[in-house]
A and B are shown apart, each in its own frame.
Chain A
Amino acid sequence: MMAAIIFVVSVVTLLMFFVSYCRSLMVSSSHHTLSQEVRDVAGIPARVSGQDFTRVMQLLQLCPERPRDRTGLEAVGFYYAMLDLVQKSVARAVPSLHLWTEHERAGCANFAAVALDRRIAFSREILAQQGDF
């Protein structure tokens, strides 16, 4: 009985800390203005939506990696998968939860779009350096 209570409490706090941790990873990208080039390439209209995430992640795989954003992307990717699962199951019955998951998914997509923007700039830098030789 005691183990079951500890398990439930631990899972609830785990979710709470994990959501906040992922948000702390994403918060740095929330003030970044996306370039028009990335918007055109990824087909992102005025605002990034949760549905853009998968497409942006596919585009990210085509660009050379920046070592700094690899681990953050993996954590946010896991968070997105978790949100996706909630949206397709429990959130269908709870409208407020549906709105919340959609808002969070859009945050994940924005984080990925900013990473794409930085990777494109990084690729340009590499090409420019190669051009100098």
Chain B
Amino acid sequence: MPGPLASFIWYFGTALELGFVVCSIARKSFFRYLFLNLYFLLTVGSSLARHSFLIRFGKSSIEYHYAYFYTDALLTVALYVALTSLYSHVFGELRFTKYVRSCAVLLLVGTVLFSYAVVAQSEQRLATAFAYELSQNLYFVGLVLTYILWGAVLKLRETRTRLVQFILALGVYFSAYAASYSLVNLASKYSVVHALGPLVSCLLPLSWTITMWRHSEEARLVPAHLVAVPR
């Protein structure tokens, strides 16, 4: 079983994920941000599945490893879909949604093939290595896509506060996760590095719930004021 701190972070993160769904239902925005809600419902479901595998088979079992890495890869794909839905919100009025979906699918397929090509060379535990590699690569692709989306928000002068804060929080989350993944590769001997991932995973539901709770759909801001160095 994980230690008390790891268990606390796990339960706290799951509570926050449920909190976002409850909050968006209370604010009557469940269907407006359907894919964000579906992502969090999926994270809660995968947390329950992981927990049952952990109790039944133990932390070091092969069954738990498979359950962990495959739900992780599935969640990363779901978050990628949620990011694509934010693209649709931003580009919706320009009627680019069809092109956004096609590009997103192409990029996803490209990342899957690239991840497979990387792990195909090593013969050890191909299945879990593929799931890990796919998650890692998708987080970096997600970070690049969020950066591009933030550029589009500034260019198109998007003013919806909720949407802007969702994108910024997603940028913080993807960056922190990509940094923690690379830190695990760089300094895996330090145990503190392994605790970063679960901590970072609490950031997204926390910041999105704050945004959903504090701001109505009608709230507006000027995104040019948010850039660190004004142009």
List residues of chain A with CB under 8 Å of any chain B CB: 3-4, 6-7, 9-11, 13-14, 16-21, 23-24, 27-28, 30, 68, 71-72, 100
Contacts and interface: CB of A to CB of B under 8 A. Distances in A.
Interface of B: 140, 143, 146-147, 150, 161, 164-165, 168-169, 171-172, 174-176, 178-179, 181-183, 185-186, 206-207, 210, 213-214, 221-222, 225-229
A7 B226 contact: no
B175 to A, nearest CB: 4
Contacts, number: 77
B178 A10 contact: yes
B214 A27 contact: no
Given A14-B176, A71-B210, A72-B210, A20 B182 contact: no
Contacts of B172: 14, 17-18, 21
A11 B150 contact: no
Contacts of A68: 213-214
B182 A7 contact: yes
Q: Chain A interface mostly helix, strand, loop or mixed? A: helix
B171 A13 contact: yes
B150 A7 contact: no
Given A4-B182, A10-B143, A17 B168 contact: yes
Given A3-B182, A7-B182, A24 B176 contact: no
A21 B182 contact: no
Given A17-B171, A24-B221, A4 B186 contact: yes
Given A20-B168, A21-B207, A72-B214, A14 B182 contact: no
B210 A27 contact: no
Nearest to A28: B221
A10 B226 CA distance: 19
27 contacts: A3-B182, A4-B182, A4-B186, A6-B140, A7-B183, A7-B186, A10-B143, A10-B178, A10-B179, A13-B143, A13-B175, A14-B172, A14-B176, A16-B228, A17-B168, A17-B171, A17-B172, A17-B175, A19-B228, A20-B150, A21-B165, A23-B225, A24-B164, A24-B221, A27-B221, A71-B206, A100-B229
Contacts of A10: 143, 175-176, 178-179, 182
A132 to B, nearest CB: 28
Contacts of B228: 16, 19-20, 23
Contacts of A20: 150, 168, 171, 226-228
A23 to B, nearest CB: 4
